[in-house]
Structure 1
Amino acid sequence: MILIDDHTSNEQISKLPLSELERAIVLQKEKSSFTYRYPSLDSLRFELLVRQEITSAARELNSSGVKFAKFSSSRCNEAFWIRESSGGFRLKSGVKPSDAINDIYRNGPLYAFECGTAMVIVWYKAVIESISPDSFDIYFNHLFLYDGEHDPNLVLQVSDKGKEAFPGDVLYFENPDVAPEKNEWQGENVVLLEPGLYYGHGIGIKSAETIIAALNRNRKPNSQTSAFLTDYVVNPDFEFLRKFQSRPVAARVGMLSLQVWA
Protein backbone atom coordinates (compact mmCIF):
# COMPACT_ATOMS: atom_id res chain seq x y z
CA MET A 1 0.00 0.00 0.00
CA ILE A 2 1.13 3.55 -0.79
CA LEU A 3 0.02 6.46 1.39
CA ILE A 4 0.58 10.08 0.43
CA ASP A 5 0.39 12.31 3.50
CA ASP A 6 -1.39 9.41 5.26
CA HIS A 7 -4.04 9.12 2.55
CA THR A 8 -4.47 6.67 -0.28
CA SER A 9 -3.92 8.43 -3.59
CA ASN A 10 -4.34 5.75 -6.24
CA GLU A 11 -6.16 8.09 -8.61
CA GLN A 12 -3.46 10.77 -8.36
CA ILE A 13 -0.69 8.22 -8.79
CA SER A 14 -2.38 6.64 -11.82
CA LYS A 15 -2.20 10.01 -13.63
CA LEU A 16 1.55 10.41 -13.19
CA PRO A 17 3.59 10.39 -16.44
CA LEU A 18 5.75 7.41 -15.47
CA SER A 19 8.02 5.12 -17.43
CA GLU A 20 7.24 1.42 -17.68
CA LEU A 21 9.76 0.61 -14.94
CA GLU A 22 8.45 3.32 -12.62
CA ARG A 23 4.89 2.12 -13.15
CA ALA A 24 5.96 -1.43 -12.28
CA ILE A 25 7.55 -0.21 -9.03
CA VAL A 26 4.35 1.63 -8.09
CA LEU A 27 2.27 -1.47 -8.80
CA GLN A 28 4.59 -3.63 -6.67
CA LYS A 29 4.30 -1.17 -3.77
CA GLU A 30 0.54 -0.86 -4.12
CA LYS A 31 0.15 -4.65 -3.94
CA SER A 32 2.53 -5.01 -1.00
CA SER A 33 1.42 -5.96 2.51
CA PHE A 34 3.83 -3.27 3.73
CA THR A 35 2.76 0.38 3.88
CA TYR A 36 4.95 2.86 2.03
CA ARG A 37 4.40 6.41 3.31
CA TYR A 38 5.36 9.60 1.46
CA PRO A 39 4.93 13.17 2.71
CA SER A 40 3.87 14.33 -0.76
CA LEU A 41 3.27 13.11 -4.29
CA ASP A 42 6.54 14.80 -5.32
CA SER A 43 8.38 12.66 -2.77
CA LEU A 44 7.14 9.48 -4.45
CA ARG A 45 7.91 10.88 -7.90
CA PHE A 46 11.47 11.71 -6.89
CA GLU A 47 12.10 8.23 -5.50
CA LEU A 48 10.85 6.71 -8.74
CA LEU A 49 13.10 9.04 -10.73
CA VAL A 50 16.19 8.07 -8.73
CA ARG A 51 15.39 4.36 -8.95
CA GLN A 52 15.01 4.72 -12.72
CA GLU A 53 18.34 6.53 -12.93
CA ILE A 54 20.11 3.90 -10.79
CA THR A 55 19.06 1.12 -13.15
CA SER A 56 20.06 3.24 -16.16
CA ALA A 57 23.45 4.05 -14.60
CA ALA A 58 24.07 0.36 -13.90
CA ARG A 59 23.27 -0.65 -17.47
CA GLU A 60 25.47 2.15 -18.83
CA LEU A 61 28.39 1.18 -16.58
CA ASN A 62 28.07 -2.40 -17.78
CA SER A 63 28.51 -1.26 -21.40
CA SER A 64 31.13 1.44 -20.70
CA GLY A 65 34.22 -0.75 -21.00
CA VAL A 66 35.28 -0.48 -17.34
CA LYS A 67 37.05 -3.57 -15.99
CA PHE A 68 37.04 -5.47 -12.72
CA ALA A 69 40.25 -5.31 -10.68
CA LYS A 70 41.41 -5.86 -7.13
CA PHE A 71 42.57 -2.77 -5.25
CA SER A 72 46.20 -3.64 -5.93
CA SER A 73 45.69 -3.39 -9.69
CA SER A 74 43.00 -0.70 -9.95
CA ARG A 75 43.43 2.10 -12.47
CA CYS A 76 41.79 5.42 -13.36
CA ASN A 77 42.05 8.40 -15.70
CA GLU A 78 44.65 10.57 -13.99
CA ALA A 79 43.28 13.68 -15.70
CA PHE A 80 40.38 13.49 -13.23
CA TRP A 81 41.52 11.28 -10.34
CA ILE A 82 44.55 10.60 -8.15
CA ARG A 83 45.10 6.89 -7.60
CA GLU A 84 46.18 6.39 -3.99
CA SER A 85 48.28 3.55 -2.57
CA SER A 86 45.12 1.91 -1.23
CA GLY A 87 43.86 1.49 -4.79
CA GLY A 88 41.19 4.14 -4.31
CA PHE A 89 40.64 7.19 -6.51
CA ARG A 90 40.58 10.72 -5.06
CA LEU A 91 39.10 13.63 -7.02
CA LYS A 92 41.79 15.95 -8.37
CA SER A 93 41.77 19.56 -7.25
CA GLY A 94 40.00 21.84 -9.70
CA VAL A 95 37.98 19.04 -11.31
CA LYS A 96 34.19 19.16 -11.22
CA PRO A 97 32.83 16.08 -9.42
CA SER A 98 30.17 15.51 -12.07
CA ASP A 99 32.79 15.63 -14.84
CA ALA A 100 34.93 13.07 -13.03
CA ILE A 101 32.05 10.62 -12.58
CA ASN A 102 30.88 11.11 -16.16
CA ASP A 103 34.42 10.44 -17.40
CA ILE A 104 34.18 6.91 -16.02
CA TYR A 105 31.25 6.37 -18.37
CA ARG A 106 32.90 8.13 -21.33
CA ASN A 107 36.36 6.56 -20.98
CA GLY A 108 35.56 3.26 -19.32
CA PRO A 109 38.60 1.30 -20.62
CA LEU A 110 40.85 3.64 -18.60
CA TYR A 111 39.25 2.39 -15.37
CA ALA A 112 39.40 -0.81 -13.33
CA PHE A 113 38.00 -1.32 -9.82
CA GLU A 114 36.07 -3.79 -7.68
CA CYS A 115 32.33 -4.22 -7.17
CA GLY A 116 31.88 -2.10 -4.02
CA THR A 117 33.33 0.92 -5.82
CA ALA A 118 31.11 0.18 -8.82
CA MET A 119 27.97 0.47 -6.71
CA VAL A 120 29.01 3.90 -5.40
CA ILE A 121 29.79 5.08 -8.94
CA VAL A 122 26.32 3.96 -10.05
CA TRP A 123 24.74 5.88 -7.18
CA TYR A 124 26.72 9.02 -7.98
CA LYS A 125 25.79 8.86 -11.65
CA ALA A 126 22.12 8.44 -10.74
CA VAL A 127 22.29 11.40 -8.36
CA ILE A 128 23.87 13.58 -11.07
CA GLU A 129 21.00 12.79 -13.43
CA SER A 130 18.37 13.27 -10.70
CA ILE A 131 19.44 16.57 -9.10
CA SER A 132 21.50 18.11 -11.98
CA PRO A 133 25.31 18.26 -12.46
CA ASP A 134 25.50 21.74 -10.91
CA SER A 135 23.81 20.63 -7.70
CA PHE A 136 25.97 17.51 -7.58
CA ASP A 137 29.10 19.65 -7.86
CA ILE A 138 27.96 21.74 -4.90
CA TYR A 139 26.97 18.95 -2.54
CA PHE A 140 29.33 16.11 -3.54
CA ASN A 141 32.66 17.90 -3.93
CA HIS A 142 35.09 15.69 -1.99
CA LEU A 143 34.84 12.39 -3.82
CA PHE A 144 36.94 9.38 -2.90
CA LEU A 145 36.15 6.11 -4.67
CA TYR A 146 37.24 3.18 -2.56
CA ASP A 147 35.15 0.09 -1.80
CA GLY A 148 31.87 1.26 -0.26
CA GLU A 149 33.12 4.65 0.95
CA HIS A 150 30.83 7.50 -0.05
CA ASP A 151 30.17 11.20 0.49
CA PRO A 152 28.21 12.06 3.68
CA ASN A 153 25.47 13.56 1.51
CA LEU A 154 24.88 10.15 -0.03
CA VAL A 155 22.92 8.89 2.96
CA LEU A 156 22.20 5.17 2.63
CA GLN A 157 19.37 3.16 4.12
CA VAL A 158 20.36 -0.41 4.97
CA SER A 159 18.09 -3.30 5.86
CA ASP A 160 18.82 -6.97 6.47
CA LYS A 161 15.41 -7.86 7.92
CA GLY A 162 13.77 -9.27 4.84
CA LYS A 163 12.78 -5.88 3.40
CA GLU A 164 11.18 -5.97 -0.02
CA ALA A 165 13.50 -5.12 -2.89
CA PHE A 166 12.64 -2.90 -5.84
CA PRO A 167 14.49 -1.98 -9.03
CA GLY A 168 17.27 0.41 -8.08
CA ASP A 169 18.06 -1.33 -4.78
CA VAL A 170 21.54 -2.75 -4.18
CA LEU A 171 21.60 -6.36 -2.98
CA TYR A 172 24.35 -8.79 -2.04
CA PHE A 173 25.17 -12.37 -3.05
CA GLU A 174 27.37 -14.04 -0.41
CA ASN A 175 29.83 -16.86 -1.07
CA PRO A 176 30.58 -18.17 2.45
CA ASP A 177 32.90 -20.96 1.32
CA VAL A 178 35.07 -18.90 -1.03
CA ALA A 179 38.51 -20.29 -1.85
CA PRO A 180 41.11 -18.33 0.19
CA GLU A 181 43.20 -17.55 -2.88
CA LYS A 182 40.12 -16.10 -4.64
CA ASN A 183 38.92 -13.72 -1.97
CA GLU A 184 37.59 -11.27 -4.55
CA TRP A 185 34.82 -13.88 -5.10
CA GLN A 186 33.61 -13.75 -1.49
CA GLY A 187 30.46 -12.05 -2.73
CA GLU A 188 28.94 -9.79 -5.33
CA ASN A 189 27.23 -6.43 -4.86
CA VAL A 190 24.48 -6.04 -7.45
CA VAL A 191 21.86 -3.56 -8.62
CA LEU A 192 18.39 -5.02 -9.03
CA LEU A 193 17.37 -3.97 -12.56
CA GLU A 194 14.04 -5.75 -12.72
CA PRO A 195 12.62 -8.86 -11.03
CA GLY A 196 15.16 -11.66 -11.44
CA LEU A 197 17.77 -9.57 -13.29
CA TYR A 198 20.86 -7.99 -11.69
CA TYR A 199 23.93 -5.98 -12.62
CA GLY A 200 27.17 -6.99 -10.90
CA HIS A 201 30.49 -5.38 -11.82
CA GLY A 202 32.76 -8.00 -13.34
CA ILE A 203 29.88 -10.45 -13.80
CA GLY A 204 27.60 -8.31 -15.95
CA ILE A 205 23.82 -8.36 -16.25
CA LYS A 206 22.73 -11.81 -15.16
CA SER A 207 20.06 -13.84 -13.40
CA ALA A 208 20.43 -14.87 -9.77
CA GLU A 209 21.12 -18.45 -10.85
CA THR A 210 23.97 -17.38 -13.12
CA ILE A 211 25.57 -15.19 -10.43
CA ILE A 212 25.35 -17.97 -7.86
CA ALA A 213 26.90 -20.43 -10.33
CA ALA A 214 29.81 -18.03 -10.98
CA LEU A 215 30.45 -17.63 -7.25
CA ASN A 216 30.19 -21.38 -6.68
CA ARG A 217 32.97 -22.00 -9.20
CA ASN A 218 35.28 -20.14 -6.82
CA ARG A 219 34.64 -22.10 -3.61
CA LYS A 220 36.96 -24.26 -1.57
CA PRO A 221 37.54 -27.72 -3.09
CA ASN A 222 34.70 -30.13 -2.38
CA SER A 223 32.56 -27.43 -0.76
CA GLN A 224 28.87 -28.23 -0.47
CA THR A 225 27.89 -24.73 0.73
CA SER A 226 26.35 -22.72 -2.07
CA ALA A 227 26.52 -18.98 -2.55
CA PHE A 228 23.16 -17.28 -1.98
CA LEU A 229 21.29 -14.00 -2.24
CA THR A 230 21.18 -12.39 1.21
CA ASP A 231 18.37 -10.30 2.70
CA TYR A 232 20.68 -7.26 2.62
CA VAL A 233 19.01 -4.31 0.83
CA VAL A 234 20.59 -0.86 0.39
CA ASN A 235 19.20 2.28 -1.22
CA PRO A 236 19.82 6.02 -0.98
CA ASP A 237 17.72 8.06 1.41
CA PHE A 238 15.56 9.48 -1.35
CA GLU A 239 13.91 12.12 0.81
CA PHE A 240 17.30 13.41 1.98
CA LEU A 241 18.51 13.64 -1.62
CA ARG A 242 15.36 15.42 -2.75
CA LYS A 243 16.37 18.65 -1.02
CA PHE A 244 19.38 18.93 -3.37
CA GLN A 245 17.39 18.89 -6.62
CA SER A 246 17.71 22.07 -8.65
CA ARG A 247 14.46 21.86 -10.61
CA PRO A 248 11.02 20.34 -10.07
CA VAL A 249 10.82 16.59 -10.40
CA ALA A 250 7.58 16.83 -12.39
CA ALA A 251 9.34 18.09 -15.50
CA ARG A 252 12.06 15.47 -15.25
CA VAL A 253 9.69 12.55 -14.75
CA GLY A 254 7.92 13.63 -17.91
CA MET A 255 11.22 13.45 -19.76
CA LEU A 256 11.77 9.91 -18.53
CA SER A 257 8.52 8.74 -19.99
CA LEU A 258 10.21 8.85 -23.45
CA GLN A 259 13.00 4.00 -18.58
CA VAL A 260 27.14 -6.55 3.27
CA TRP A 261 29.90 -4.69 1.30
CA ALA A 262 32.46 -7.18 0.07
Structure 2
Amino acid sequence: MIRINNRYVTFPQLESQMTLSEFQRDILRQMINSQAVYSYSSAKELDFELQMRENITEAAKLLNNSDASFATFRYSRANPRYWFTERNGALRLLPGVRPSDAINDIFVNGSEYGFECATGMVIVLYKAVMQSLGVERFNHLFQNLYLWAWQYDKDLHLITTRRYDYFPGDILYFDNPDVDPSTPQWQGENVVYMGNGLYFGHGVGIKPKEGMIAELNSFRYPGSTRSAFLLDQATRPDYKRLYEYTTMYTPQYM
Protein backbone atom coordinates (compact mmCIF):
# COMPACT_ATOMS: atom_id res chain seq x y z
CA MET A 1 0.00 0.00 0.00
CA ILE A 2 1.13 3.56 -0.68
CA ARG A 3 0.19 6.60 1.36
CA ILE A 4 0.96 10.13 0.20
CA ASN A 5 0.50 13.03 2.59
CA ASN A 6 -1.43 10.65 4.93
CA ARG A 7 -3.86 9.52 2.22
CA TYR A 8 -3.89 6.07 0.61
CA VAL A 9 -3.67 6.23 -3.17
CA THR A 10 -4.44 3.89 -6.05
CA PHE A 11 -2.34 2.95 -9.05
CA PRO A 12 -4.50 4.95 -11.54
CA GLN A 13 -4.26 8.04 -9.32
CA LEU A 14 -0.48 7.85 -9.26
CA GLU A 15 -0.08 6.96 -12.91
CA SER A 16 -2.02 10.09 -13.89
CA GLN A 17 0.42 12.29 -11.93
CA MET A 18 3.72 10.69 -12.92
CA THR A 19 5.69 9.91 -16.07
CA LEU A 20 6.76 6.30 -15.54
CA SER A 21 8.82 3.76 -17.45
CA GLU A 22 7.39 0.24 -17.63
CA PHE A 23 10.04 -0.83 -15.12
CA GLN A 24 8.85 1.83 -12.67
CA ARG A 25 5.20 0.88 -13.25
CA ASP A 26 6.00 -2.70 -12.24
CA ILE A 27 7.60 -1.53 -8.98
CA LEU A 28 4.66 0.78 -8.31
CA ARG A 29 2.18 -2.08 -8.77
CA GLN A 30 4.19 -4.28 -6.41
CA MET A 31 4.26 -1.55 -3.75
CA ILE A 32 0.52 -0.89 -4.11
CA ASN A 33 -0.19 -4.62 -3.68
CA SER A 34 2.14 -5.03 -0.69
CA GLN A 35 0.71 -5.52 2.80
CA ALA A 36 3.30 -3.05 4.07
CA VAL A 37 2.55 0.67 4.02
CA TYR A 38 4.96 2.94 2.14
CA SER A 39 4.49 6.60 3.08
CA TYR A 40 5.63 9.66 1.16
CA SER A 41 5.22 13.40 1.57
CA SER A 42 4.49 13.89 -2.13
CA ALA A 43 4.26 12.11 -5.47
CA LYS A 44 7.62 13.70 -6.37
CA GLU A 45 9.28 11.94 -3.44
CA LEU A 46 7.86 8.60 -4.60
CA ASP A 47 8.92 9.36 -8.17
CA PHE A 48 12.49 9.98 -6.96
CA GLU A 49 12.60 6.54 -5.32
CA LEU A 50 11.24 4.80 -8.40
CA GLN A 51 13.78 6.53 -10.65
CA MET A 52 16.64 5.71 -8.31
CA ARG A 53 15.60 2.07 -8.07
CA GLU A 54 15.79 1.90 -11.85
CA ASN A 55 19.17 3.66 -11.74
CA ILE A 56 20.44 1.03 -9.27
CA THR A 57 19.53 -1.83 -11.59
CA GLU A 58 21.03 0.01 -14.58
CA ALA A 59 24.26 0.57 -12.64
CA ALA A 60 24.32 -3.15 -11.77
CA LYS A 61 24.03 -4.02 -15.47
CA LEU A 62 26.88 -1.64 -16.28
CA LEU A 63 29.13 -3.16 -13.63
CA ASN A 64 28.26 -6.64 -14.85
CA ASN A 65 29.21 -5.63 -18.40
CA SER A 66 32.44 -3.94 -17.33
CA ASP A 67 35.64 -5.92 -17.03
CA ALA A 68 35.90 -5.31 -13.28
CA SER A 69 36.76 -8.62 -11.65
CA PHE A 70 36.03 -10.23 -8.33
CA ALA A 71 38.98 -10.16 -5.92
CA THR A 72 39.43 -10.79 -2.22
CA PHE A 73 40.66 -7.86 -0.13
CA ARG A 74 44.21 -9.14 -0.36
CA TYR A 75 44.17 -8.79 -4.14
CA SER A 76 42.08 -5.63 -4.52
CA ARG A 77 43.29 -3.29 -7.23
CA ALA A 78 42.25 -0.04 -8.88
CA ASN A 79 43.29 2.55 -11.43
CA PRO A 80 46.11 4.48 -9.69
CA ARG A 81 45.08 7.69 -11.49
CA TYR A 82 42.02 7.87 -9.22
CA TRP A 83 42.49 5.52 -6.25
CA PHE A 84 45.10 4.51 -3.71
CA THR A 85 44.88 0.81 -2.80
CA GLU A 86 45.55 0.37 0.92
CA ARG A 87 47.11 -2.68 2.55
CA ASN A 88 43.72 -3.90 3.78
CA GLY A 89 42.36 -3.84 0.23
CA ALA A 90 40.42 -0.60 0.60
CA LEU A 91 40.31 1.88 -2.27
CA ARG A 92 40.77 5.48 -1.16
CA LEU A 93 40.00 8.44 -3.43
CA LEU A 94 43.15 10.39 -4.31
CA PRO A 95 43.34 14.08 -3.32
CA GLY A 96 42.14 16.43 -6.03
CA VAL A 97 40.16 13.76 -7.89
CA ARG A 98 36.50 14.41 -8.61
CA PRO A 99 34.43 11.63 -6.97
CA SER A 100 32.24 11.34 -10.06
CA ASP A 101 35.28 10.78 -12.28
CA ALA A 102 36.63 8.08 -9.99
CA ILE A 103 33.34 6.18 -9.80
CA ASN A 104 32.72 6.44 -13.53
CA ASP A 105 36.21 5.13 -14.26
CA ILE A 106 35.31 1.82 -12.59
CA PHE A 107 32.64 1.30 -15.23
CA VAL A 108 34.78 2.57 -18.14
CA ASN A 109 38.15 0.97 -17.30
CA GLY A 110 36.91 -2.02 -15.37
CA SER A 111 39.86 -4.22 -16.34
CA GLU A 112 42.02 -2.18 -13.94
CA TYR A 113 39.78 -3.03 -10.98
CA GLY A 114 39.27 -6.00 -8.69
CA PHE A 115 37.17 -5.98 -5.50
CA GLU A 116 34.79 -8.21 -3.55
CA CYS A 117 31.01 -8.32 -3.70
CA ALA A 118 30.07 -5.95 -0.86
CA THR A 119 32.32 -3.26 -2.32
CA GLY A 120 30.63 -3.91 -5.66
CA MET A 121 27.23 -3.19 -4.13
CA VAL A 122 28.42 0.13 -2.69
CA ILE A 123 29.92 1.10 -6.04
CA VAL A 124 26.58 0.37 -7.75
CA LEU A 125 24.78 2.53 -5.19
CA TYR A 126 27.21 5.42 -5.62
CA LYS A 127 26.72 5.29 -9.39
CA ALA A 128 22.93 5.29 -8.97
CA VAL A 129 23.05 8.22 -6.53
CA MET A 130 25.17 10.16 -9.01
CA GLN A 131 22.61 9.51 -11.75
CA SER A 132 19.75 10.48 -9.43
CA LEU A 133 21.21 13.63 -7.84
CA GLY A 134 23.46 14.84 -10.64
CA VAL A 135 27.23 15.13 -10.78
CA GLU A 136 27.46 18.48 -8.99
CA ARG A 137 25.53 17.40 -5.90
CA PHE A 138 27.26 14.02 -5.88
CA ASN A 139 30.71 15.61 -5.89
CA HIS A 140 29.68 17.96 -3.09
CA LEU A 141 28.31 15.17 -0.88
CA PHE A 142 30.86 12.42 -1.47
CA GLN A 143 34.25 14.10 -1.43
CA ASN A 144 36.12 11.47 0.61
CA LEU A 145 35.21 8.15 -0.96
CA TYR A 146 36.55 5.02 0.72
CA LEU A 147 35.60 1.69 -0.82
CA TRP A 148 35.99 -1.27 1.49
CA ALA A 149 33.25 -3.88 2.11
CA TRP A 150 30.21 -2.14 3.62
CA GLN A 151 32.12 1.01 4.57
CA TYR A 152 30.34 3.95 2.95
CA ASP A 153 29.84 7.69 3.23
CA LYS A 154 27.24 8.67 5.85
CA ASP A 155 25.35 10.66 3.20
CA LEU A 156 24.44 7.37 1.49
CA HIS A 157 22.10 6.54 4.42
CA LEU A 158 21.74 2.78 4.00
CA ILE A 159 19.06 0.95 6.01
CA THR A 160 18.93 -2.84 6.47
CA THR A 161 15.69 -4.34 7.75
CA ARG A 162 14.25 -7.82 8.08
CA ARG A 163 11.41 -8.14 5.61
CA TYR A 164 9.59 -10.53 3.30
CA ASP A 165 8.74 -8.13 0.48
CA TYR A 166 11.39 -6.52 -1.64
CA PHE A 167 11.53 -4.67 -4.93
CA PRO A 168 13.95 -4.16 -7.82
CA GLY A 169 16.88 -2.05 -6.63
CA ASP A 170 17.00 -3.65 -3.18
CA ILE A 171 20.30 -5.15 -1.97
CA LEU A 172 19.79 -8.72 -0.73
CA TYR A 173 22.04 -11.44 0.64
CA PHE A 174 22.41 -15.14 -0.11
CA ASP A 175 23.91 -16.92 2.91
CA ASN A 176 26.09 -20.04 2.53
CA PRO A 177 26.26 -21.50 6.08
CA ASP A 178 28.34 -24.56 5.14
CA VAL A 179 30.99 -22.78 3.11
CA ASP A 180 34.25 -24.66 2.66
CA PRO A 181 36.81 -23.07 5.05
CA SER A 182 39.31 -22.97 2.19
CA THR A 183 37.07 -20.54 0.27
CA PRO A 184 35.68 -18.16 2.92
CA GLN A 185 34.98 -15.51 0.28
CA TRP A 186 32.00 -17.65 -0.76
CA GLN A 187 30.30 -17.59 2.64
CA GLY A 188 27.60 -15.52 0.97
CA GLU A 189 26.83 -13.19 -1.90
CA ASN A 190 25.52 -9.63 -1.80
CA VAL A 191 23.19 -9.03 -4.74
CA VAL A 192 21.04 -6.40 -6.38
CA TYR A 193 17.51 -7.62 -7.07
CA MET A 194 17.00 -6.80 -10.74
CA GLY A 195 13.33 -7.74 -11.02
CA ASN A 196 11.70 -10.66 -12.87
CA GLY A 197 13.37 -13.14 -10.53
CA LEU A 198 16.93 -12.12 -11.46
CA TYR A 199 19.81 -11.05 -9.18
CA PHE A 200 23.18 -9.44 -9.85
CA GLY A 201 26.19 -10.42 -7.75
CA HIS A 202 29.67 -9.08 -8.47
CA GLY A 203 31.80 -12.03 -9.52
CA VAL A 204 28.78 -14.24 -10.21
CA GLY A 205 26.84 -12.23 -12.77
CA ILE A 206 23.09 -11.97 -13.30
CA LYS A 207 21.27 -15.17 -12.41
CA PRO A 208 17.92 -16.41 -11.10
CA LYS A 209 17.63 -17.40 -7.45
CA GLU A 210 18.34 -21.05 -8.25
CA GLY A 211 21.51 -20.10 -10.12
CA MET A 212 22.82 -18.02 -7.22
CA ILE A 213 22.16 -20.85 -4.78
CA ALA A 214 23.79 -23.43 -7.07
CA GLU A 215 26.89 -21.23 -7.40
CA LEU A 216 27.27 -20.90 -3.63
CA ASN A 217 26.51 -24.58 -3.04
CA SER A 218 29.47 -25.48 -5.22
CA PHE A 219 31.69 -23.95 -2.50
CA ARG A 220 30.32 -25.95 0.46
CA TYR A 221 32.52 -28.32 2.43
CA PRO A 222 32.33 -32.02 1.45
CA GLY A 223 29.35 -33.79 2.97
CA SER A 224 27.36 -30.62 3.64
CA THR A 225 23.59 -31.06 3.75
CA ARG A 226 22.59 -27.40 4.19
CA SER A 227 21.93 -25.36 1.08
CA ALA A 228 22.67 -21.70 0.60
CA PHE A 229 19.54 -19.57 0.91
CA LEU A 230 18.22 -16.03 0.50
CA LEU A 231 17.95 -14.11 3.77
CA ASP A 232 14.67 -12.38 4.60
CA GLN A 233 16.22 -8.91 4.69
CA ALA A 234 16.80 -5.99 2.37
CA THR A 235 19.22 -3.08 2.34
CA ARG A 236 17.98 0.18 0.86
CA PRO A 237 19.20 3.77 0.71
CA ASP A 238 17.13 6.15 2.80
CA TYR A 239 15.34 7.51 -0.24
CA LYS A 240 13.60 10.22 1.78
CA ARG A 241 16.90 11.64 3.00
CA LEU A 242 18.44 11.48 -0.48
CA TYR A 243 15.38 13.18 -1.95
CA GLU A 244 15.94 16.11 0.41
CA TYR A 245 19.27 16.76 -1.32
CA THR A 246 17.44 17.46 -4.59
CA THR A 247 16.02 20.66 -3.11
CA MET A 248 19.30 21.88 -1.64
CA TYR A 249 21.56 24.41 -3.36
CA THR A 250 24.95 22.86 -3.97
CA PRO A 251 28.01 25.02 -4.60
CA GLN A 252 30.13 24.02 -7.57
CA TYR A 253 32.63 21.34 -6.63
CA MET A 254 36.23 22.42 -7.13
Q: Which residue of 1 aligns with 2:171?
A: 170
Give the deviation of 1:232 after TM superposition: 1.9
If asked which structure has higher relative contact order (CA below 8 Å, sep 6+), I would say: 1
Q: Structure 1 residue 153 and structure 2 residue 155: aligned?
A: yes
Residue correspondences, number: 246
Q: TM-score, normalised by structure 2?
A: 0.95
Q: 1:54 aligns with which of 44, 56, 68?
A: 56
- 1:12 offset after TM fit, Å? 3.5
**Over 4 Å off, 4+ runs:** none
> Which residue is equivalent to 2:245?
244
Unaligned runs of 5+ in 2: 249-254
* Mean Cα deviation higher: 70-79 or 12-21: 12-21
- Matched with 1:8 is 8
In structure 2, what is the Cα distance between the partners aligned to 1:12 and 1:102?
37
What value does the CA root-mean-square deviation take over the aligned residues? 1.1
Distance 1:187 1:115 in 2: 9
Q: Structure 1 length normalisation: TM-score?
A: 0.92
Deviations 1:13-55 (A, max 9, x none): 1121101111001001111122111111111001001101000
CA displacement at 1:8 relative to structure 2: 2.6
* Structure 1 position 89, deviation (Å): 0.3
1:246 is displaced (CA, Å) by 6.3
SS at match of 2:245: coil
Say which SS state the counterpart of residue 77 (structure 2) adopts.
coil
Percent identity over the alignment?
Answer: 46
Give me the whole-angstrom Cα distance separating, in 1, the residues matched to 2:116 and 2:150: 10
Q: Secondary structure of 1:109's partner?
A: helix
Corresponding residue SS for 1:130: helix
Q: CA–CA distance in 2 between the matches of 1:246 and 1:210? A: 42
State how far apart, in whole Å, the 2-side matches of 1:124 and 1:246 are: 19
Q: 1:189 is matched with which residue?
A: 190
CA shift, 1:88, in A, is: 0.7
Aligned residue in 1 for 2:213: 212
User: Corresponding residue for 1:255?
Assistant: none
Match of 2:114 in 1: 112
